[in-house]
Amino acid sequence: MNLLKPRPLSCGDLIEIIAPSGPVEFEPVMAAKSYFEKKGYRVKLGEHLFDAERYLAGDDASRVEDLHNAFLDDDVKAIVCARGGYGAIRLIKLIDFELIKNNPKIFCGYSDVTALSAMFLKHSGLITYSSPMAVSDFASESQNPLTEESFFKVLSGQKDFYVSEDTYISGKAEGITFGGNLSTIVSLCGIDFIPDEGFIFFAEDVNEPVYKIDKMFNQLINIKKFRENIRGIAFGKFTGVDDDNWLREVLSETAKILDVPAYGGFKISHEAEKQTLPYGAYSVLDGELTVY
């Protein structure tokens, strides 16, 4: 695959905020807009950003229109999703992946947005960013220092350092970064979403009971292509589980079944403290995760 690495973010660049998933309210969006402006960036809001339909930020056509238009706007240098929730998977059948491929730029988000990052990588070759989001992370009066530092460091083209807290299977692995929010990745099962080359699988989730985490990992393990192409595992944080001991057992079993180097405790999560990770970039896992 010919991977497309977007141009780094520079002070003064234009950031567009869109909502491909759940609905957002006016005041938090404006707080996030003000935050980026104080950091020295210009901010554009998607035309349909404040639309709302049930649990979605407007209908599918409007949300994908904002997505396409953000990529088509040459002045926009980075697209930052407002929040997760649910809805990104509904857009997949409507996305013009050639348009994305021909207009590569920074695209940021996590949680439900994982579905878009995975599909952009698979069908456009675009390296995106598993990162904080506008409303979810940058609308509060104070920011987590590590979260803030990592976000701007990585988007500006600098390397960050991803250090593990636990070792499940020691060893060295190489491949592109792939994964993200576990429940969202599993929601893609049934379509073509797994990379054709070797990958380091990173995973995190929030408020999922351990038996569901067990089930979701086994859904992936049962896919032949997943088993063949996985080279290593970087477990992030699984916040709000019902039993920490069970979780550790499940993660250990997953690593043993896949028989690849596996490390845990990376600061990739739904928590306030999270690091920004290039999604689809070549990486080496050896206790630490080094992304090139």
Asked if 111 is an active-site residue, the reply is: yes
Q: What whole-number distance in Å separates Cα of residue 233 and Cα of residue 254?
A: 9
* Interior/surface letters 177-208, b for 16+ CB within 10 angstroms, e for the rest: bbbbbbbbbbbbeeeebbbeebbbbbbbbbeb
Annotated active-site residue in 111, 136, 150, 183: 111
* Token pair 């069970």: residue: 246
Among 117, 131, 164, 270, the active-site one is 270
Q: Which two tokens stand for residue 85?
A: 């929730």
Catalytic residue among 164, 183, 204, 208: 204
Give a three-class secondary structure readout of 90-157.
Answer: HHHHHCCHHHHHHCCCEEEECHHHHHHHHHHHHHHCECEEECCCHHHHHCCCCCCHHHHHHHHHHHCC
> Is 204 an active-site residue?
yes
Active site residue 142: no
Which residues have a catalytic role annotated?
A: 111, 204, 270
